[in-house]
Homo-oligomer: A and B are copies of this chain.
Amino acid sequence: MRTVQPNFSTKERILGVAETLFARHGFAGASLRQVTAAAKVNLAAVNYHFGSKESLIEEVFRRRLDELNRHRLAALAAVDSKPDRRLEDVLDAFIRPALEQSMDSAGGAAFVRVLARAYAEHDERLRKFLSDNYGHVLRDFAAAFAQLLPHLDKEELYWRLDIVAGALTYAMADFGMIKRKNDVSEHSHREQAAQHLVRFAAAGLRAE
């Protein structure tokens, strides 16, 4: 695995390395000394460029979440404009950008694990930050789903979307028991995960 991108700026190298190390060892488990050593920058560079470890963590999130939210909303808008919307299309608009980011060669896979870890950390500060960045996206998708699933009241719908988000988080972070076989590339492994997920979620959302 490539841990350093030599021709990138100090700030970018720190962000990239921090992403993979936070994914692997957690926010408390990955020290700034590990990060700066792997990024081949001085220890003080983190506090110089980001102010604190806490701010570095937020910056790692902001960089990817802005991109993910943009892609998701664009995909949703594309689906919205079509005359015959299918449930699977909206689901795909929600799931595929996350999948694609998790296959991005430059640390995107790591970020999905960081995101899952943030959920697990259960830190109120981080949750508020995520809710501020994610909230309106989830609401837009909920509205799209609501149109396609008129038999579900609002609360029922939110429960089910919560389940979908959970399964997606879990699957994309590669938590599962299913071991990727050696003759299957990581790319096609995730592609399979996405397809199974969309089919499963579509059936679950339509239930009853």
Give A contacts to B, CB under 8 Å: 23-29, 113, 116-117, 119-122, 131, 135, 138, 156, 158-167, 169-171, 173, 175-178, 192-193, 196-197, 199-208
* Distance in angstroms between the alpha carbons of A173 and B193 in the assembled complex: 22
Q: Is the CB of B163 within 8 A of A171?
A: yes
Interface of A is mostly: helix
Max chain B C-beta neighbours (<10 A), residue from A23, A25, A199, A206 = A199
Closest to A192 in B: B159
* Distance in angstroms between the alpha carbons of A2 and B192 in the assembled complex: 45
A161 cross-chain contacts in B, Cβ below 8 A: 177
Given contacts A177-B158, A206-B203, contact A166 B169 (CB under 8 A): yes
Q: Is the CB of B158 within 8 A of A178?
A: yes
* Distance in angstroms between the alpha carbons of A167 and B119 in the assembled complex: 13
A175 cross-chain contacts in B, Cβ below 8 A: 119-120, 122, 166, 169
Within the oligomer, what is the number of copies of this chain?
Answer: 2
A203 cross-chain contacts in B, Cβ below 8 A: 203-204, 206-208
* Distance in angstroms between the alpha carbons of A24 and B121 in the assembled complex: 7
Closest to A162 in B: B176
A162 cross-chain contacts in B, Cβ below 8 A: 171, 176-178
Could you tell me the distance in whole angstroms from the C-beta of A71 to the nearest C-beta in chain B? 20
A169 cross-chain contacts in B, Cβ below 8 A: 166, 170, 175
Report, nearest first, the 8 A-B pairs whose CB atoms are least far apart: A166-B170, A203-B207, A120-B120, A200-B204, A162-B176, A28-B28, A28-B29, A204-B204
* Distance in angstroms between the alpha carbons of A177 and B155 in the assembled complex: 12
* Distance in angstroms between the alpha carbons of A206 and B192 in the assembled complex: 18
Q: Is the CB of B173 within 8 A of A163?
A: no
Given contacts A178-B162, A200-B160, A207-B203, contact A170 B173 (CB under 8 A): no
